[in-house]
A and B are shown apart, each in its own frame.
Chain A
Amino acid sequence: MLEYLLSFLILAGALFTFVGSLGLARLRDFYTRLHGPTKASTLGVGCLLIASALFFSTRSEGISLHEVLVTLFLFITAPISAHLLAKAALHLGLTSLAPPPEDKPRR
Chain B
Amino acid sequence: MKSTEILNSLQVALTIRRLCSQLIENHNDFADSVLVGLQPNGVYLVNRLKKELEKINDSPVLTGALDITFFRDDFRRNEKPLIPSITNIDFSIENKVVVLVDDVFFTGRTVRSGLDAIMTFGRPLRVELLTLIERRFSQHLPIRADYVGQSIDTISEEKVAVKWKEEHGKDQILLYSPIKT
Pairing of A with B: no
Binding site for A on B (CB under 8 A): none
